[in-house]
Amino acid sequence: MIMATYNVKDFGAIGDGTNDDTQFIQAAMDLAKQIKGGTVFFPPGKYLVTSTLELNGLASIEGSGWSTNSMEEGSFIFFKESFSGDVLNITGRNATVNQLGFACDQPQIGLPMNLVVGLLFMSGLMT
C-alpha cells in the first residue's frame, strides 16, 4: 500500500524561523491521522513551533536532513527558549522520525530529533 505524503508547506508553513508554523504543521499531522497514515514532510527550512505538536503513531515525519553546524541547511523544528512543554507528542505505535532536527534559539537547549528519538528507542520508551 502506498502512503500519502503531506508537505507542510502545502498547508501554509513558511519555514523561515520567524513566522509561526504550528497550525500548518498540525493541520498536516491531523490529515495524516484522519487518513490513518502517511508521511508529514518538512522541506528545508526552520519551522517555528509555539505549542505542542500532536502526531498519531500511524504517521511518520520526514525532513530533508540536518546539519549540526548550521540551521541554514536542512529541516528543523525550531522553538524559542520561552517555549514551555513538549514540542512533539507522539501517541500510538509505528511512528518514525527521520532526517529532522530540533533546535532552540539557545543552542545549548536544542537537540537533533534523531538523537531524542534514538534515546527513546534505546530506553524502551518507543518501539
Q: Give residue-wise pLDDT tens across range 2-41.
A: 679 999 999 999 999 999 999 999 999 999 989 888 999 9
Q: Which residue has the cell 501554509?
A: 12
Low-confidence winner among 69-73, 78-82, 111-115, 120-124 (lowest mean pLDDT): 120-124
Choice among 33-47, 48-62, 83-97, 103-117 with the minimum mean pLDDT: 103-117
Segments forming the whole domain that contains residue 49: 5-122
Q: What letters, b where the CB count within 10 A reaches 16 and e where it falls short, cover 4-29?
A: eebebbebebbbebeeebbebbbbbb
Q: 30: which 3 cell numbers? A: 491531523
Structure confidence at residue 59 as a pLDDT band (50, 70, 90): confident
Within a domain: 103: yes
CA distance 54 to 57: 10
Let me know if residue 54 belongs to a domain: yes
How does pLDDT run across 61-94, given as a tens digit for each residue? 999 987 666 666 789 998 888 887 888 888 888 8
Tally the domains of the chain. 1
Q: Does residue 3 or residue 97 have the better pLDDT?
A: 97
CATH of the domain at 105: 2.160.20.10
Q: Residues 71, 100: contact at Cβ < 8 Å?
A: no
* Residue 127 in domain: no
**94 inside domain:** yes
Model pLDDT, residue 42:
97
The SS3 of residue 41 is strand
* pLDDT band of 101, cuts 50, 70, 90: confident
Give the whole-angstrom CA distance, residue 117 versus residue 123.
Answer: 10
Ramachandran quadrant class, 39 (left: phi over 0; alpha: psi -120 to 50; beta: rest): beta
Place of cell 534559539: 105
